[in-house]
Amino acid sequence: MSLPTTGRVLITGPSNAGKTRLTARALIGWVEDHGADDVAILDFAPEVEHEGILLGGRLDRFVDVPEGAWVGVLDAHAPRAEGTTEKGAHELARENARGGMDLVESLPSSRAVFVNDATIPLQHEAGDVETLLAACENRELVVMNAFSGEELGTDDPISRREREARDRLIEWADTHEELH
């Protein structure tokens, strides 16, 4: 699959569909063509095993993060997999939102931004999709990926917030690639 080299790209799909791998390929392509000095990376992905399957995964599993790139990594939780109660899951989502928004606010000016697991900090009301989108404005290329599936739940507050954020990202993107 070939992704655009300019504009706003969103990649969605269920766990282990290849979202992070495709984002890593886009990052590699950009760095090969333009270098790493004007690249910013936000990596919000948790790495948690759930029912024998690794959920999430950071970009550095698939690519050596280039020297010269600005990198913001969230020590993220997988609230629906790790939370033992709804209240516990909500608190983990709040921690993700606060840490993720701090990273978004730290995002430097750059030509290209790559965001892995973009909806993780948006699963709680402390996370704001519009803040993320504003931070990505006026970039030559933005590549984001986001979870889209039912294996972690559909009707709980975290899933509803994530779905609303993903819908807004889809509306914002110039290109939406949905993996299955």
Q: What tokens does 129 get?
A: 């999709």
Residue range of the domain that includes 30: 7-175
150 found inside a domain: yes
The count of structural domains within the chain is: 1
104 found inside a domain: yes
111 found inside a domain: yes
Give me the tens of pLDDT residue by residue for the chain, a chain 180 residues long.
Answer: 799 999 999 999 998 899 999 999 999 999 999 999 999 999 999 987 767 777 668 999 999 999 999 999 999 999 988 899 999 999 999 999 999 999 999 999 999 999 999 999 999 999 999 999 999 999 999 999 999 986 656 789 999 999 999 999 999 999 999 999
Q: What tokens does 53 get?
A: 């399957």
165 found inside a domain: yes
At residue 127, φ and ψ (nearest 5 deg) are -95, 140
Provide the CATH number for the domain around residue 126: 3.40.50.300
1 found inside a domain: no
Cα–chain center distance at 174? 17
Contact 11, 143 (CB under 8 A): yes
Contact 138, 64 (CB under 8 A): no
64 found inside a domain: yes
Q: Could you tell me how many residues make up the chain?
A: 180
